[in-house]
Structure 1
Amino acid sequence: MTSRRLLLLAARILGVCLVLSAVPATTATATTTATTAGPAAAPTVSEGEVMPHLQALQQIADRNGGNRAHGTQGYADSVAYVRKALDRAGFHTELRPFSYGGAAGYNLIADWPGGDPNHVLFTGAHLDSVKQGPGINDNGSGAAAVLTTALRVADAGLKPTRHLRFAWWGAEEGGLVGSTDYVRKLSADDRSKIDLYLNLDQAGSKNTKQWLVVHDNEHGEIEGQQAFEAWFAARGIATFDIGVGGSDHESFGNAGIPSSGFSTGISDCIHEACDDLANVDPQTETTSTNALLGVVWQLAATPAASRH
């Protein structure tokens, strides 16, 4: 188990001691779309809009030796699936190549047209699994939530104040390789244009009693943390703060980029063949997706002071 798994597990155990119960969120199918970013305009999605992406990732793994790991056809097919959906929706997509363990890897970056390019709201999740299994909760769940959010941005024809960028990282199970490579290759100016990075890792764990919200105290980030905690609190859902380290957002935090996001903690199957579609709770996954949608909608409309 990597250090990030230990961190999430410790936070989950501590949180159980502090919180007696949590009320699950109610989800609903969105009946309207919005053209202006803002908290009141945020859409919601149903299980039927999120889970098909996880089903597709499971099918990709099934066709490719049971996994979607770095350097495999399963990962390449996962990237192709996500990119095709984004291209059809009108995003500008780009593959950022890197090498790890003697194999080619790829990060998928998607930019939504418009918004201030000097103030970027960046949302991402790792897309790869380990070779032992399909990685549907870790981290197909986060990848699907980010994809669903991006597609709703396109459906709404959103006109954000900030520029919106989304990413799906490769080789993160090897030690945050893809996200680290991406951040390392950014110029100092490009790094300074990222107002905030939001990350999702394991968004659909079963038996979730609370959502673990990233608290980037080292870099003074409160915008994302407060937005997520407010979204959950408004629905009676318990949260517990965790440090900036331990997942894909660590690569951004290490470069001085404010980071937030959340996880639902360690699932029953981690890095095993049983991390399949049955290892994801659809209601938890849907709640996580709606939380991300709500916060992205809110922060996309929020001007921010320059970090230059």
Structure 2
Amino acid sequence: MSLRTIRSRRSAATAIALVAVLGAAAPAAAAPDRELGDRIGVNEVNRHLIAFQRIADIHGNRASGHPGYEASVDYVAGKLRAAGFDVSTPEFSYQAYFLDSFALSAGGQPVEGDALEYSPATPPGGVTAPLSVAPVDDTPGCEAADYAGTDLAGTVVLVQRGACNFSEKARVASELGAEAAIVYNNVDGPLNGTLGDPAAATIPTAGVTRQVGEQLAGRAGTEVTVDVQSRLESVTTRNVLAQTRTGRTDNVVMAGAHLDSVPDGAGINDNGTGSAGLLAAALEMGGSPDVHNAVRFAWWGAEESGLVGSTKYVQGLSFEQQLDIALYLNFDMIGSPNAGYFTFDGDDSDGVGAGEGPYGSAQIEQDFIDAMARRGVELRGTDFNGRSDYGEFIAVGIPAGGLFTGAEGVKTEEEAALWGGTAGESYDPHYHTAGDDLGNVDRRALKLNTKGLADVVAGYARSTEAVNGMRTRAERAELRAAQGSLMAARLDTAKVPHGHDLS
């Protein structure tokens, strides 16, 4: 089923559910509590970033399954315990993908590219075979008919991105006898892709830029070597959960950020900034604040391996425990050096991508817009594309939102005029590289976003009435049950690592 079909059916079902359950429009929003944000300075946030950098310097990185991540967990959990929170660090296990080496060549000359995540390994030395080229049509490489007249047996197939998941392109090519696949981008920039999970992986699969792909497309028959040395290992790691000791526990405000980095480095913007901003807000709030609703802060593990920590957490909750969560707020990269200022498009007013979030997400979007406007920042929308830890919360009908300053996307002329920075360059030129260090942060963006997130979290700790739009737990249960299966269907294929696309 297409996303458009799912979205149309979801919109109709949600409208019916809203009329039946609510019977009236949601109340107006309560003003965000600016006091908490005003008490937070950028220096205290930066101190946490320094800690993350030093941890990475000692241990090499802060990736889940590595000592640097465990040290990051201990640092965050220790701060929260000292502030009086109820803190836990629950363990979970998963199959982690490790790419030990990758090489691609054509006609004996090296070609720039990378393995798609979860690509199976080749034999040592790689797979060498003639290059076949998939015709470019509306569904390139998505079905066997796309290769009519092209013999893939014993070849490495080159196929353009688009219309279906990378794993589907690899599966079709494999069934037609291809030894390996190369997917090239259909837009400028690198192709940061994933096959989704080990079960979806069929043949070794690489990704290259549009420019490289278009050059290779004119070299059908050339001997190509794809060398992927990868492995799967079982990894046990931890999340960090810290809840206030005050406030209603059946109407909890949740706010989260992923704590892990990629293996290449310290991950100071991705996602030290979100982790540090959230930690600063939590410590300023304290473990026993004067609030109506309890606040549960979360630092997720293994986000970079496929949103694993947050997904396992939500899936481990009963429906009643999910109902105890009023909403979820996500903060992933809030200090990009060429920063954009984005909030998740809860009402799909931009008309881009996957569609609106569960009921209440539109109000969350507006509350972030209002909070940041009070600090002189005009936000723009960003799609709920499933690339961060809100994914599983949305899938079970929990309203969500958050802040984001951009990753590998390119800043437009309009955005540069609005926010400053450099048009035509990515929001974070060092995204997912060893260069993501203390020098890779816009402190102004970090300060403003930390204050904005603190304002909104504190406002919801006072009242979530505008988001829920309902007076009773039973009404909330009815609406989430109506939404849950539809939202899960939309995001079923979207639980991917931040920065890695499925299609």
| Cα offset, 1:281, TM superposition | 1.3
Supply the AA of the counterpart residue of 1:201: D
> Quick one: structure 1 residues 119 and 207, their matched pair in 2 at CA, closer, same or farther if it must change by over 3 Å?
same
The superposition leaves residues 204-228 of structure 1 with CA deviations (integer Å, 9 ceiling, x where unpaired) of 01122x4110123231222321111
Does residue 261 in structure 1 map to residue 421 in structure 2? no
> Separation in 2 of the partners of 1:243 and 1:282?
25
Counterpart contact for 2:32–2:459, Cα < 8 Å: yes
2:378 to 229, 238, 241: 238
> Separation in 1 of the partners of 2:56 and 2:330?
23
For 1:211, the equivalent position in structure 2 comes to: 341
| Cα offset, 1:38, TM superposition | 6.5
Counterpart contact for 1:120–1:165, Cα < 8 Å: yes
2:250 to 111, 114, 118: 118
> Quick one: structure 1 residues 257 and 79, their matched pair in 2 at CA, closer, same or farther if it must change by over 3 Å?
same
Does residue 289 in structure 1 map to residue 450 in structure 2? yes
For 2:56, the equivalent position in structure 1 comes to: 61
> Separation in 2 of the partners of 1:212 and 1:252?
19
Supply the AA of the counterpart residue of 2:394: G
For 1:139, the equivalent position in structure 2 comes to: 271
TM-score by length of 1: 0.84
> Quick one: structure 1 residues 43 and 172, their matched pair in 2 at CA, closer, same or farther if it must change by over 3 Å?
closer
Supply the AA of the counterpart residue of 1:76: E
Residue pairs, 1:163-182, within 5 angstroms: 163-182=294-313
For 1:158, the equivalent position in structure 2 comes to: 289
For 1:16, the equivalent position in structure 2 comes to: none
1:279 to 427, 435, 440: 440
| Cα offset, 1:40, TM superposition | 5.1
Greater C-alpha Rg: 2
Gaps of 5+ in 2: 1-30, 96-233, 347-355, 408-427, 478-503
| Cα offset, 1:137, TM superposition | 0.3
SS of residue paired to 2:63: coil
Please give the root-mean-square deviation of Cα atoms over the aligned residues, in Å. 1.5
Supply the AA of the counterpart residue of 2:317: L
TM-score by length of 2: 0.52
Bigger relative contact order, structure 1 or 2, given CA contacts below 8 A and separation 6+?
1
Does residue 148 in structure 1 map to residue 288 in structure 2? no
| Cα offset, 1:41, TM superposition | 3.4
For 2:191, the equivalent position in structure 1 comes to: none
| Cα offset, 1:42, TM superposition | 3.0
| Cα offset, 1:241, TM superposition | 1.1
Query: Which segment drifts farther, 191-200 or 94-103?
Result: 94-103
For 2:329, the equivalent position in structure 1 comes to: 198
Does residue 99 in structure 1 map to residue 93 in structure 2? yes
Aligned residues: 269
Does residue 249 in structure 1 map to residue 390 in structure 2? yes
Does residue 270 in structure 1 map to residue 431 in structure 2? yes
For 1:73, the equivalent position in structure 2 comes to: 67
Between structures 1 and 2, the one with greater helix share: 1
| Cα offset, 1:236, TM superposition | 2.9
SS of residue paired to 2:273: helix
Q: Percent identity, please.
A: 40
> Separation in 1 of the partners of 2:323 and 2:258?
23
> Quick one: structure 1 residues 40 and 206, their matched pair in 2 at CA, closer, same or farther if it must change by over 3 Å?
closer
Counterpart contact for 1:38–1:301, Cα < 8 Å: no
